[in-house]
């Protein structure tokens, strides 16, 4: 292996990390604007949130999922809320993984759609329109089960390190 090969290997290994860092920086700037924090300033709670935005699973680096994860955490920071409980994106990822192992119950499927609607409203809105259903239909039938699943996942997937 020559020097060029080594440099190319390092660049390819670091490319996903740099992509995540770029997305995190973009989402921090957008959140600063949403929460009226001076953009690019080093004192506000949102500006100091970079370390909170670590993906909690290697496959959570899918751009749309990771952006939703960052937005939720940054909005919690902007409102002074606790950032440790699981984000909607983290719960979507967990439910997606669970669905690969076994079919989801109706309550879990309803929660999956509800979280999807919160994180990706344009996509889930189209899906629900295509099947002539709404998340509200699931909530009317399985609302209590959906809430129980959501509370369980928020606690089970809680990230104690995610405080500063």
What integer pLDDT is reported at residue 7 of this predicted model? Answer: 81
What angle, rounded to 10 degrees, do the helices at 88-101 and 63-78 form?
Answer: 140
Write out pLDDT tens, residues 7-41: 888 888 888 888 899 999 999 999 999 998 888 76
Helix ranges restricted to H, the chain: 3-34, 63-78, 88-101, 106-119, 121-130, 135-156
CA gap 99, 20 in Å, rounded: 26
The pLDDT-based confidence of 164 (bands split at 50, 70, 90) is low
Q: What is the mean pLDDT of the chain?
A: 90
Q: Could you tell me the pTM of the whole model?
A: 0.86
Q: Is residue 83 part of a domain?
A: no
Q: Is residue 109 part of a domain?
A: yes
- Give me the number of domains the chain comprises: 2
CA gap 15, 21 in Å, rounded: 10
Q: Is residue 126 part of a domain?
A: yes
Q: Is residue 42 part of a domain?
A: yes
In contact, 90 and 157? CB cutoff 8 Å = yes
Range of the domain at 151: 88-156
């Amino acid at each position: 292996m020559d020097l060029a090969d080594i440099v190319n290997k390092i660049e390819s290994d670091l490319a996903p990390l740099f992509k995540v860092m770029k997305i995190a920086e973009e989402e921090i700037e957008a959140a600063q604007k949403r929460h009226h924090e001076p953009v690019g300033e080093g004192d506000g709670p949102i500006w100091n949130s970079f370390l909170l935005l670590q993906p909690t699973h290697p496959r959570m680096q899918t751009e749309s999922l990771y952006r939703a994860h960052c937005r939720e955490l940054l909005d919690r920071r902007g409102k002074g809320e606790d950032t440790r409980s699981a984000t909607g994106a983290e719960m979507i990822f967990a439910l997606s993984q669970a669905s690969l192992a076994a079919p989801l119950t109706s309550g879990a499927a309803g929660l999956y759609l509800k979280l999807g609607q919160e994180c990706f409203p344009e996509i889930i809105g189209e899906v629900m329109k295509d099947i002539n259903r709404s998340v509200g239909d699931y909530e009317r039938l399985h609302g209590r089960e959906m809430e129980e699943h959501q509370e369980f996942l928020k606690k089970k997937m809680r990230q104690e390190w995610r405080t500063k």
